[in-house]
A and B are shown apart, each in its own frame.
Chain A
Amino acid sequence: MIEFTNVTKRYGRKSTKIIAIDDVSLSVSQPGIYCLLGRNGAGKTTLMKLMAGHIAATKGQITVDNSSVSTSRMPEGVNYIESGAIQFNIKVAELIKAAADLQDGFDMEFAEKMLTMFRLDMKKNFKQLSFGMKTMLTTIIALANQSKIILLDEPTLGFDAIMRDQFNTLLLESYNTHPRIIIVSTHLIDEIAKITERLIIIDNGGILLEAEINEVDERAYTLSGMVNLVLPLLDDLNCIGKTTMGSVMAAHIFDRRIVPPEGVAVNRLSLQDFFIQIVGGQNNA
């Protein structure tokens, strides 16, 4: 279980101080695949590195399984892997062997199965792999680890469409083999939505939303119609963004479902559009 209590992380000196994480409280307890969404610079990587004890919090407390986390006390059960993680330039087979030797309970069978599935050449040196393949290898190393918490930072960066699909298979296969907390940060929202159960949206260093994907599917929708019909409906609803073109308005809602009056259509709001609206919706409002 991961617990953040009023955690703040600042970078830099006084004059150039950047607040990457601002007074965040968060609790992740149930096993599942979690999707961490946020714009570039929103604080996703910092949040994950704090969870893994790779960096120290400026303020607040982080615990994993009730044990305090810091750089001097890296939690045993957490494995954080970033996209483009540097590895020793040795053969793929040797890297897998080294990881297996370094980690307790490394699932070699799973790793070998995945290496075959993704056609990773065991005889190639790490630097001879494409960027996508490097990331895939690093992800396999992370997922073969039987840690209770796996943190994958932008794992699909540099993947083509087929590799992204394969990655989702890999993630599901791993989760089915070892159910645990897997947090994936990504920008490819709709693709990860197929396999993820819970969504955490971060913006400007703060948690904007933490919800089940089903809940977002249920509560996020668009009302469209003439302005004079749509506008009165918004008084009782949580409108996260709206677009007006002439006399027609599209209002994006994250709230209870309503039965719209005649002349107003209810359309599904894709996860990507929901994210755009909730993070940048105020620009359209």
Chain B
Amino acid sequence: MRKSLVVAKINLQNIKLAYIITAITMLVIVIQDIVMIILEKAGVFRNPPGNMTVSFGNYLFLAVILGAIFIPAWNFRRIMNLGGKRRDFFLGCAATYVIMTAAVSLICVILFYTYDRLMVSLLYRGGTLDIMYWFGWINNGVIVAFIQQFAFLLLLAVAIHTLWAVQDKWYGWCADIAIVAIISVFTPIAPLRAALVWFFNLIIFHPNAFVQITACMILAAAIYSLNMAILARKAI
């Protein structure tokens, strides 16, 4: 357990590129917002009353997505070179994503009630587009919404991690093709489209928060467990 946390710490400290890209993106948004506020105050520009923007906190999802790409791509071999074991990497990455997605979800909630509110009062009078809001999670209360968002982000992170971990193998490419095929084939065919809708309802839109959270966690655990077999075959 201790070594898993060490791996998690190493992982979180060594995805600087993910943090930099996210920070730059968010900085650009802040600069854009400041410039627009100044222009509005100066009377040069007037934001339309119904204008909306993406919630500031949601840009943090970029760090989760990029982290889930960089960790299997870069960190595995480096951790092995430091004397780590595959089992430590497996458990450590799980801890990494739990910590990371919980932190991102928490910051998103905080930003939703602070920065977003400020921007709504100053600039985007139509409101902000936040996934907690879009997916209706906020209707269950802020704490449940935080957990729903965390569960969804965890599922997203482990799915990207797992998919990325097999990209150097033929079955990784098969998985990519299968995902594209499912989406493109299922969408035009009504019964199959219904299956897709059912699936997305389960992991995102389900009215019962407990069901949505449980479905996301079980699916995340199932997908992540595939990494045991992937790591066992991975050459260093």
Seen from chain A, the residues whose Cβ lies within 8 Å of a Cβ on chain B are 49, 52, 54-56, 70-72, 74, 76, 79, 81, 85-88, 90, 95, 98-99, 101-103, 106, 138, 141-142, 145
* Contact between chains at A71 and B233 (CB < 8 Å): yes
* Contact between chains at B236 and A98 (CB < 8 Å): no
Q: A126's closest neighbor in chain B, by CB?
A: B78
Complex formed: what's the CA distance from A272 to B85 in Å? 37
Complex formed: what's the CA distance from A231 to B170 in Å? 59
Q: A73's closest neighbor in chain B, by CB?
A: B232
A101-B3, A102-B6, A102-B88 as given contacts; A87 in contact with B81, CB under 8 Å: yes
* Contact between chains at B13 and A90 (CB < 8 Å): yes
B84 CB within 8 Å of chain A: yes
Seen from chain B, the residues whose Cβ lies within 8 Å of a Cβ on chain A are 3, 6-7, 10, 13-14, 75, 77-86, 88, 232-236
* Contact between chains at B85 and A145 (CB < 8 Å): no
- Of B6, B77, B80, B86, which is within 8 A of A98 by CB? B6
- A106 / chain B contacts, CB cutoff of 8 Å: 83
* Contact between chains at B78 and A88 (CB < 8 Å): yes
- Of B6, B85, B86, B234, which is within 8 A of A101 by CB? B6
* Contact between chains at B83 and A102 (CB < 8 Å): yes
Complex formed: what's the CA distance from A76 to B85 in Å? 8
Complex formed: what's the CA distance from A95 to B81 in Å? 11
Complex formed: what's the CA distance from A99 to B78 in Å? 11
Given A55-B236, A56-B235, 17 additional A-B pairs, CB 8 A: A49-B236, A52-B236, A54-B236, A56-B233, A70-B232, A71-B233, A86-B77, A87-B82, A88-B10, A88-B75, A98-B10, A98-B82, A102-B6, A102-B82, A103-B82, A141-B82, A141-B83
Complex formed: what's the CA distance from A103 to B7 in Å? 11
* Contact between chains at B86 and A74 (CB < 8 Å): yes
Q: B6's closest neighbor in chain A, by CB?
A: A101
* Contact between chains at B234 and A71 (CB < 8 Å): yes
Instruction: With both chains docked as a complex, state the minimum distance between the C-beta of A47 and any C-beta of chain B, in angstroms.
Output: 15
5 residue pairs of the A-B complex, CB under 8 angstroms, read: A79-B83, A86-B77, A87-B78, A88-B75, A101-B6
- Of A55, A87, A141, which is within 8 A of B235 by CB? A55
- A72 / chain B contacts, CB cutoff of 8 Å: 86, 232-233
Complex formed: what's the CA distance from A86 to B74 in Å? 10
- Of A56, A81, A101, which is within 8 A of B81 by CB? A81
A71-B233, A72-B233, A101-B6 as given contacts; A95 in contact with B82, CB under 8 Å: yes
- A102 / chain B contacts, CB cutoff of 8 Å: 3, 6-7, 10, 79, 82-84, 88
Complex formed: what's the CA distance from A70 to B81 in Å? 18
* Contact between chains at B14 and A90 (CB < 8 Å): yes
Complex formed: what's the CA distance from A148 to B160 in Å? 37
Q: A89's closest neighbor in chain B, by CB?
A: B14
Complex formed: what's the CA distance from A13 to B135 in Å? 48
Complex formed: what's the CA distance from A284 to B233 in Å? 44
* Contact between chains at A99 and B82 (CB < 8 Å): yes
